[in-house]
Amino acid sequence: MPEKRINAALQLPAAKPVLFVLSLLPFGALLWGAIAGTLGANPAEALIRGTGDWTLRFLCLTLAVTPLRTLTGWHALARLRRMLGLFTFFYAVWHFLAFAWLDMGFDLAAILADIAKRPFILVGTTAFLLLGPLAATSFNRAIRTLGAARWQALHRTVYVVALLAVLHFFWMRAGKNDFAEVFIYAAVVAALLGWRAVRACRTRRRAAA
């Protein structure tokens, strides 16, 4: 069956290294563009937006693992979810660093003032700070230390992160009245979170029956 072949491929030792390399390619492309001077007239903006876009894309990929596993039977996808989540944080770190360095010159007072002044930066920073504990507790030892119930409760904040990330993206594009990409990401996140909500309701109904 196709799902058996796909599961077998996903369980190969090479699957994680391949995913690791593929996940680094966007970062490599941005870095090379900065070195080669091919990022356009405003390379700082290109780096900030590029790392932000890839943060949101990896967040969507991470959230898509469970629905894909359930709908397709590709259960071996679960072994790749942690890496996707860590790359979400990786790109979020570079997104924030690009803003702090290229826009603010690592001036802490200016960074804090900008966060307080501009709602879209406040929302984005909040999402970034919420991602930190998720990345720090993404390992098996953290699950044993926290206990499964508390670990799961903590990692459900990824849903809040997803909503804040879309809101951050929306407010960022609102200034230029450019919402085409925003609606795509909003639809993807709504579908992924909506699937979870429907599944949770069905589970509660079965438990109550």
| Residue range 64-121, pLDDT digits in tens | 999 999 999 999 999 999 999 999 999 999 999 999 999 999 999 999 999 999 999 9
Is the pLDDT at 176 greater than 80, yes or no? no
pTM: 0.95
**Confidence at residue 206, expressed as pLDDT on a 0 to 100 scale:** 84
**Confidence at residue 1, expressed as pLDDT on a 0 to 100 scale:** 60
Average pLDDT of the residues in 184-203: 94
Cα–Cα dist 108/91, whole Å: 21
Q: Would you say 11 and 79 are in contact if contact means Cβ atoms under 8 Å apart? A: yes
Predicted confidence band at 208 (pLDDT cuts at 50, 70, 90)? confident
Apex 166 CA angle, 161 and 171, nearest 5: 125
